[in-house]
Amino acid sequence: MAQRKTGADVTDKGPKKTVKPTLKTIAGISGLAVPTVSRALNDAPDIGQRTKTLVRKIAQEIGYVPNRAGVRLRTGRTNVISLVMPTEHDIMNHTARLISSVAGGLRDTPFHLIVTPFFPDQDPLEPLRYIVETGSADAVIFNQVTPQDPRVAYLMDKRFPFATHGRSDWSDRHPYYDFDNNAFGRLATGQLADKGRKRLLLIAPPPAQNYAQHMIAGVMDVATERGVSVILAEQVTSDSTSEEVVTYVRDTLRADPTIDAIITASTSSAMAAVAGLEQQGATVGKEIDVFTKEAIPFLKLFRADIMTISEKVGTAGAFLAKAAIQAIRDPDAPPMQHLEIPSKPPA
């Protein structure tokens, strides 16, 4: 029996070009009309889930790939969502997890993810202007949001779909997913006060970013209520290099031995804080407590007595993907928004 050939068929006259599957091919196999197939592949809300599943299964089996140029001509869309991210990175940050979770949120949709970087010496507006002016994506997602973020103002002015990981001062008007850093600061300070800690060192995020202000306010409010004093680190932030945080913590503890707890906002700064206090001869959980948040359960493997709260970055990415899609398809609908409330960690 002759075997069925895949790819280009070969005859005695040379290679025979394989016909590329089209929407009409899927329609013929499924028994559905071509417009129904097209709408199912584009996740139209008026098409049932069983039909979408059937059409996608057939498309995958026959190797159907939509023609991007054709899609853009028919719909005016690229079916691309851009995640605009800074190039600064740290081995323990959650950038990779955010990228992965946004990509997962776009799975089984017609949208594809691209990552657009911007550099520390670059205007953060520049990559967004390029995307808007060239129409190279249908929506953007970005983080490191500032209170009066010019990117948010620009995109709202242009009525260009977007979603943010974090809130601006105009958060009532745009899609976002945010972790409640005010609640984190309150929980951290309250739990440290419950342990009898009296003098806290706060290594907050960069002050220009909105979540830093939320966190600082939460810490200060509870510190006032509980009679706890707080030193706000000014020379370093939770985004500083590990070497900078280690040196700062070591020198600050040397100058002020009454400090008995440290609150940080990232895994890397927590690890650096531990290294700094250990260089001063202190032990985590004994002379000094360290309280932080983390996206991946890791720190208790590093030092079991570090106090942690989990931030669900995977959930954030999936939500932001759906929020961006809604902003594209239904720009007049109320924006999708979610504020993640941290839960008190077990004692």
Task: Determine the Cα–Cα distance for residues 273 and 290; give it in Å rounded to an integer.
Answer: 8
- Choose among 181, 193, 207, 197: nearest CA to 292: 181
Query: For 181-310, CATH number?
Result: 3.40.50.2300
Could you please state the CATH topology (level 3) that the domain comprising 13-65 is classified under. Answer: 434 Repressor (Amino-terminal Domain) (1.10.260)
One-letter amino acid identity for 58?
Answer: I
Query: Reduced to 3 states, what is the DSSP secondary structure of residue 243?
Result: helix
Least confident of 45-49, 78-82, 142-146, 209-213: 45-49
What is the percent of the chain with per-residue pLDDT over 90, rounded to a whole number?
A: 65
81 with 137: CB under 8 angstroms?
yes
Task: Determine the Cα–Cα distance for residues 72 and 69; give it in Å rounded to an integer.
Answer: 5
Task: Determine the Cα–Cα distance for residues 205 and 183; give it in Å rounded to an integer.
Answer: 15
Give the mean pLDDT of 111-136.
91
Q: What is the pLDDT of residues 150-183, one digit of tens each?
A: 999 999 999 999 999 999 999 999 999 999 999 9
Q: What's the whole-model pTM score?
A: 0.78
Question: Which helix H or strand E contains 238, and what residues bound it?
Answer: none
Give me 156's structure tokens: 């709202």
Domains 80-174+313-340 and 181-310 share a fold: yes
Could you please state the CATH topology (level 3) that the domain comprising 80-174+313-340 is classified under. Answer: Rossmann fold (3.40.50)
Annotated domain spans of the chain: 13-65, 80-174+313-340, 181-310
174 with 163: CB under 8 angstroms?
yes
